[in-house]
Structure 1
Amino acid sequence: MTRRLLASYLGLVLLVLLGLEIPFGLLYARAETSRLSNSIERDAGMLAELAEERIEENNTEELPELAADYGERTGARVVVVDRTGIVLTDSASITPAGTDLSAEPDIATALHNQTTVGTAPDPDTGAETRYATVPGASGNTIRGALRLSYPTDVLNGRIHDIWLTLALTSLVVMAAVTLIALALARWIIRPVHALERATTQLADGTLTNPPDADFGPPELRRLATSFTRTATSLQHLLKAQRAFAAEASHQLKTPLTALRIRLENFEPHLDPAAHDSLDEAISETERLGRMIQGLLSLARLESTATTPEAADLDAVVADRSATWAPYAAEHLVHITTAGSPAGHVWAIPGALEQILDNLLANALRVSPPGTTITLTTRRTPHRIELHVIDQGPGMSAAERQRAFDRFWRASDTHHDGTGLGLPIVDQLTRASGGHVTLEPAPATGLDAVVHLCPTDTTALAPTARGTRSYTRQNPPFTVPPKPTAAPAHARR
């Protein structure tokens, strides 16, 4: 934007300079040409009168001195002829005395008592000259003629000098305007850049450096003040919302646990026909507990920051695959691993385990008996991909777009998921400097792809890629224990 402002200022100044200097230069050139012509014609007339007197008095021997003296003082060439066109003197000593010039147009015209003024090549030297040829006469009596000529390079030099002066003036003015415009543009752009940085910080969640409201144009200062006030209010609202979600979730855990215990204690005292309803009530209580646990995890992720560290993805995949294999076997589902070794990736502590637990829980929930869940690692030029592929019903394109929304579940879902599993996976992956996508599996089912940054590519480390910076404090979540029964993890 600074360049655009600078270009607009300079373009406007250049347009003004051209509009002023070009007409001035042309006017000066025309005035100099006219002044030289008038000067030549005036001097030629005066010299012709003096020459006519000398010719009339038969004192022609003074003519060479007269012509030579004028030529030395002015740099002009003076040629004097008698009434028949015979050269009497030439100040430049080029045309010898006695040469007949009566055939030359300007001399012939002057001998007919008419003056000729114009620009033409010198008949002897070929140089471009400005000349005036006037008759030397008394009344109608023609006693001779005089040609006075100046080289036009003198005039051209003057015109060239004025154009050069105008050009240098323009350069000085443009340089001065450039410095002034650059200072002005920076004065205007600096608060805009500050607002841009503040907006980026606010988009990342926290405004640490509010824009300076004491610099720049008044309009931008007022905008910075209004932005800071709005951002502060927004951060307070977000903080209050997160605190409420965390506090409410925490406070609900104890009564829910007590409610579940009380419901289980009812079982010996209920009619057997009511046991199904009791089981459903306990199941809903468990789902509500899992939802509260998911909300607590998301609240901790949003309010607590950690620094991504190097983690062995191959070891985590092997560990979680072995942990989930017995529970998957109870549902007649097989878990297998494939792909090439991935090595170490950037991830916040415990994130990989939590990501795999949620994705495996989702995959198991939709996998029919006799199918396979495949964990695949794949290395690309700039990323490491972790694929969790199931053979379930899959999702449509519209469902895959909404799958990361909190509490969203597909309309045909019949399981007891909470709709928080994938949002947690997405939050953990982004906090680790990567991202997660959902793709159709090659045959049927869903392919959840987690894109992570390899540690051996330092240019793509999370802090180097310009992602959100995390400062390690307390862990944002607790890694769930190895499942011995149905794992209580967040659902799709």
Structure 2
Amino acid sequence: MRRRLVTVFLVPMIIILLALGGAYGLSAARSIQQQVSSQLIGDLSYFTTGASQALRAGDPAMIESELRRYGSLYDAEVVVYDRSGMSWATGSRVAELTEEEREPVRLALSGRRGEPVSDALPWTTGETVIVEPVFDDGSVIGAVRIAASTEAPRRAILTQWSVLIAASAAIIAALIWAVYRLASWVLKPLRRVDSAMAAIEHGEMGARISDDTGPPEMQRMVRMFNQMAEEIERVMTRQQEFVMNASHELRNPLGALLLRVEYLATGLDEGWLDDIEHAREEGRRMTRILDTLLHVARDGKSDSAFVVVDLGELADARSVAWRERAAELWVAIHPSVAGPVLALTDRMAVESALDAILDNALKFAPRGTVVDLTVYSRGGEHFIVVRDRGRGLEEDQLEHATTRFWRSPQDQNVPGSGLGLAIASDLLEALGGRLIVELPDGGGLQVTLALPAADPSGSARGDMGETARRDPTSPAHSDPTGPAQPDSRGAGDA
């Protein structure tokens, strides 16, 4: 905006100034030239009168002393020619004229007055030459030629042009200063709006702008901005309060549930130890999620803790956690991991995304089928692939699969909200990864979690070394995914 204002105001002014300055400079040069020419014509008239008397008397000495004095004073050469065109009287030794220089003399001897033959402009050199005929009773008896150096008028023109250029430069500098001050004044209200928006972006939700900022049009925009900021602050406050209340209220039943698990564990034999430990781990995981939600709601932001995670081990753990749910649906989860696959990422976020995908796959997998869970690395990325063998989607529906609350028309009767794949996609984007939804050969749906790879030292490639920030009130944070609540996520391919 500043550049546009400077261009709009400054460029036309400079063009007008240069045009006026150039015109004035040329006018001044012509004025000096006219003054020089007028002076030479006046001097020539004087010498013409003297030359007429001297030619009638036939005595060159009558005028030569004046010619010498004039030449020494004005750096000019005055020559009197007789009727034959020969030099008759002069103030100094005269060089032989060229054929071009003789032409004005011949014109004067024929009775016609000569004109200045050169302009006294700074880029020209030479002399200003004027030739006048000498008459006696109407007959031409000779001619007077005056040749003056152009050095003096050229110096005068250069002096005037130098003053003009200096004045123009000073005016242009003043214009630049004035235009920049004007642009700053015009943009001052916009800078206030920009500062307030930047403050809100950095979490200062109470930032506002004075209603009397700028002209009436800007004041209307400022009022709308303040109203929008107040509405955003109100919504954010309500969301944070909801997250805090929900997280706090869930801690009590979760604590009671964990105590009940510990109580039940005392009456079971050793064959139930693995199941009990799985239940404990899921409870601890839910506790971590609730603690994170409380921290987010309290501080207003979420900084993901990036650590080196073995994605293969993570996938195995989540497949075990979902095994009972899969068994209830007569579906098997088949994990396939070829060795450790290390990634520098947020373990909780990856678990939540994978849980959303597994829940979606189990929801639409036919009875008696297998859900494949594969982990591998390729081309600088780590991949966690979940493939079911359900109806899948149409080709033109894939781009809508990660849209919030979207569900396939043929699966409207299946319970769900259409948030599963959208949540997973948001989580992956926050981690610098991506979610890929494909139609594999043989039917079904294949959903891939792609994460940037990490080197053995634990430093991530791409954007994984940076701290991912997510909206603390987004569904990706407020929806604790996991087998404990398999119906709380939406069907991404539904």
Question: TM-score scaled to structure 1, two decimals?
Answer: 0.72
Give 3-state SS (helix, strand or coil) of 1:235's partner: helix
Which residue, 299, 319, 331 being the options, matches 1:321?
319
Aligned to 1:370: 369
Distance 1:351 1:102, change over 3 A: closer
Identify the residue that residue 392 of structure 2 maps to in structure 1.
394
Contact 1:305–1:476 under 8 Å retained in 2: no
- Match of residue 309 from structure 1: 305
* Match of residue 18 from structure 1: 18
Hey, what does 2:229 align to over in structure 1?
A: 231
Give the equivalent residue in structure 2 for 1:88: 88
1:116 corresponds to: 114
The one-letter amino acid of 1:424's match is I
Aligned length: 438
Deviation at 1:216? 5.5
Contact 2:431 2:464 in 1 (8 A): no
Q: CA deviation at 1:201?
A: 6.8
Amino acid at match of 1:104: R
Which residue number in structure 2 is paired with residue 280 of structure 1? none
Shift of residue 116, structure 1, vs aligned partner: 0.9
* 1:123-142 → structure 2 map (5 Å cutoff): 128-142=126-140
Q: 1:220 to 1:306 in 2, by over 3 A?
A: same
Whichever residue aligns with residue 437 of structure 2, its letter is: L
Whole-angstrom distance in 1 between the partners of 2:204 and 2:193? 14
Change (3 A) 1:10 1:346: farther
User: 2:283 is matched with which residue?
Assistant: none
Q: Is the 8 A contact 1:297 1:476 kept in 2?
A: no
TM alignment of 1:406-421, pairs within 5 A: 406-413=404-411, 414-421=413-420
In the alignment, which residue of structure 2 is the partner of 1:337?
336
| Separation in structure 2 between the aligned mates of residue 128 and residue 108 of structure 1, nearest angstrom | 21
1:201-239 CA-partner distances (Å, limit 9, x unpaired): 767987464457676656435533431232113431454
- Structure 1 distance, partners of 2:125, 2:56, is 33
- Paired with 1:427 and 1:41, the residues of 2 have a C-alpha distance of 93
The alpha carbon displacement at 1:198 in A equals 4.8
Aligned to 1:422: 421
1:31 aligns with 2:31: yes
In the TM superposition, what are the counterparts of 1:142-157 in structure 2 within 5 Å? 142-152=140-150, 154-157=152-155
**Superposed CA offset, 1:157-196 (max 9, x none):** 5445544544443333222222222233234345435535
After TM superposition, the score normalised by the length of structure 2 is: 0.72
Q: CA deviation at 1:72?
A: 2.1
Residues 1:66 and 2:79 aligned together: no
The alignment partner of 1:460 has SS state of coil
62-71 vs 99-108, which deviates more? 99-108
Q: Deviations over 1:360-383 (max 9, x none)?
A: 1111222233344233344555x6
The one-character-per-residue Cα deviations of 1:126-158 (angstroms, maximum 9, x if unpaired) are: 964322111233442544321112244554554
Question: How far apart are the structure 1 equivalents of 2:295 and 2:427?
Answer: 8
Partner of 2:278: none
**Contact kept? 1:68, 1:91, Cα under 8 Å:** yes
Partners of 1:87 and 1:101 within 8 A in 2: no
- Rounded Cα–Cα distance in structure 2 between residues aligned with 1:328 and 1:30: 101
Match of 1:445 in 2: 444
Does the residue aligned with 1:47 lie in a helix, a strand or coil? helix
Q: CA deviation at 1:319?
A: 2.2
The alpha-carbon distance between structure 1 residues 21 and 338, as it changes in their structure 2 partners (threshold 3 A), is: farther
Alpha-carbon distance in structure 2 between the residues aligned to 1:169 and 1:93: 45
Structure 1 residues 452 and 444, CA, compared in 2 at 3 Å: closer, same or farther?
same
CA–CA separation in structure 1 for the residues paired with 2:41 and 2:362: 111
Report SS of the residue matched to 1:93: coil
| Aligned CA distance change for structure 1 residues 192 and 101 (closer, same or farther; 3 Å) | closer
> What is the CA distance between 1:307 and its match in structure 2?
0.2
Q: Please give the per-residue CA displacement for 1:100-127, whole angstroms capped at 9, x wherever unaligned.
A: 9999332223223331113169xxxx96
Shift of 1:87: 1.0
Counterpart-to-counterpart distance in 2, 1:216 and 1:30? 51
Over the aligned positions, Cα root-mean-square deviation in angstroms equals 4.5
Which secondary structure does the structure 2 equivalent of 1:136 belong to?
strand
Is 1:77 the equivalent of 2:77?
yes
Unpaired segments ≥5 residues, structure 1:
256-295
Aligned match of 1:460: 463
SS of the residue corresponding to residue 149 of structure 1 reads: strand
Distance verdict in 2 for CA 1:450–1:175, change over 3 Å:
farther
For each residue in 1:420-447, what CA deviation from the matched residue of structure 2 results, as whole angstroms up to 9, or x when unmatched? 3334334434554555453433553333
Tell me how far apart the structure 1 counterparts of residues 338 and 183 of structure 2 sit (CA, whole Å): 55
Worse-matched range after superposition: 36-45 or 368-377: 368-377
Q: Map 1:191-210 onto structure 2 (within 5 A).
A: 191-196=189-194, 198-199=196-197, 207=205, 209-210=207-208
Compared with structure 1, are the counterparts of its residues 460 and 445 closer, same or farther at alpha carbon in structure 2 (3 Å cutoff)? Answer: same
The answer as to whether partners of 2:302 and 2:469 remain within 8 angstroms in 1 is no
Specify the code of the residue in structure 2 equivalent to 1:491.
G
Q: Which residue of 2 aligns with 1:180?
A: 178
1:361 match: 359
Shift of 1:490: 1.7
Amino acid at match of 2:85: G
Match of 1:61, as an amino acid?
A
Change (3 A) 1:357 1:127: closer
Between 179-188 and 243-252, report the one with greater CA deviation: 243-252
Identity %: 23
Question: 8 Å contact 2:343–2:382 — kept in the other structure?
Answer: no
1:357 and 1:251 map into 2 onto residues whose CA distance is 23
In the aligned structure 2, how far is the partner of 1:301 from the partner of 1:412? 40
Distance change (3 Å), C-alpha of 1:54 and 1:318: farther
Contact kept? 1:111, 1:135, Cα under 8 Å? yes
Change (3 A) 1:478 1:411: closer
Do the aligned partners of 2:371 and 2:388 also contact (CA within 8 Å) in 1?
Answer: yes
- Per mean C-alpha deviation after superposition, the further-off stretch among 63-72 and 396-405 is 396-405
Q: Which moved more, 1:86-95 or 1:306-315?
A: 86-95
